Amino acid sequence: MSERNRIELRLSKARSRLREIAALDTDGLTPEIREESDQLVAAVEADEIKLRASLAAEPEPGESGEPLDAETRERLELRGRARVGRYMLAAVRGRLPAGVEAEYSAACGFEDGGIPLEMWEPEQRAVTNAPTGTNAVGVNVAPIQPHIFAPSIAADLMIDMPMVESGTFSQARISTPLTASALAKGGDAEATAAAFTVASGTPKRVSCRLEFLVEDVASAGVANFEAALRENLSMALSAELDNQLINGSGVAPNLSGILKALGDATTDDTLLTYSHGIKKLAGLVDGLFAMNLSQIYQLVGVETYRAMATATAVVTSTGRDTFPLSAYLNEAGAGMRTNSRMPAVASTKQSAIAVRKGVSGIRTAVSAHWGKVEITDVYSGSARGQTAVTCHVLLSDVLVIQPGAYEHIQYKVS
Residue 247 Rama label (left phi>0; alpha psi -120 to 50; beta): alpha
C-beta separation of 234 from 373 below 8 A:
no
Is the pLDDT confidence value at 309 over 50?
yes
More confident residue, 378 or 148: 378
CA 364/CA 67 separation, integer angstroms? 46
Give a three-class secondary structure readout of 239-269.
Answer: HHHHHHHHHCECCCCCCECHHHHHCCCCCCC
Return the pLDDT at 148.
57
Rounded Cα distance, 160 and 86, in Å? 10
Least confident of 46-60, 121-135, 371-385: 121-135
User: Which of the listed ranges 62-71, 230-239, 313-322 does the model predict with the highest average pLDDT?
Assistant: 230-239
pLDDT in the model for residue 134: 47
Tell me if 272 sits within 8 A of 298, measured CB to CB: no
pLDDT digits (tens, 9 = 90+) for 237-289: 888 988 999 999 999 999 999 999 999 998 999 999 999 999 999 999 999 99
In the three-class reduction of DSSP (H, G, I as helix; E, B as strand; rest coil), residue 323 is classed as: strand
- Top pLDDT among 4 and 240 is at 240
Nearest-5° Cα angle at 111, 108 to 114: 80
Residues 6 or more apart whose CB falls under 8 angstroms from that of 286 comprise 356, 404
Average pLDDT over residues 215-224: 70
Query: What integer pLDDT is reported at residue 361 of this predicted model?
Result: 85
Within 10 Å of residue 173's Cβ, how many Cβ atoms? Answer: 15
Who has greater pLDDT, 396 or 62? 396
- Measured in residues, the chain has a length of 414
Q: What is the arithmetic mean of pLDDT over 75-97?
A: 73
Print the SS3 string covering 154-176: CCCCCEECCECCCCCEEEEEEEE
340, 150 Cβ separation under 8 angstroms: yes
pLDDT digits (tens, 9 = 90+) for 7-17: 887 888 888 78
Q: What are the tens digits of pLDDT across the range 156-182?
A: 899 988 888 888 898 888 888 888 889
414: three-class secondary structure by DSSP: coil
Please state, in angstroms and rounded to a whole number, the distance separating the CA atoms of residues 387 and 383.
10
Distance CA 325, CA 273 (A): 8
So what's the pLDDT on residue 138? 45
Q: What pLDDT was estimated at residue 248?
A: 94
* Arithmetic mean of pLDDT, 371-375: 83
> What pLDDT is recorded for position 43?
83
State the chain's mean pLDDT as an integer: 81
Please, what is the Cα angle at 373 between 368 and 378, to 5 degrees?
165
Q: What is the pLDDT of residue 271?
A: 96
- Model confidence over 23-39: pLDDT tens digits? 776 667 787 887 888 88
Domain spans of the chain, in order of start: 3-61+69-119, 144-177+196-414
DSSP result, 374-401: EEEESSTTGGGTEEEEEEEEEEPPPEES
Q: What fold characterizes domain 144-177+196-414?
A: Major capsid protein gp5 fold (3.30.2400)
What interhelical angle do 325-332 and 302-310 show, nearest 10?
Answer: 100
93 Cβ contact list (under 8 Å, min separation 6): 22, 360
pLDDT of residue 112: 65
pLDDT bin (cut points 50, 70, 90) of residue 144 is low
More confident residue, 383 or 102: 383
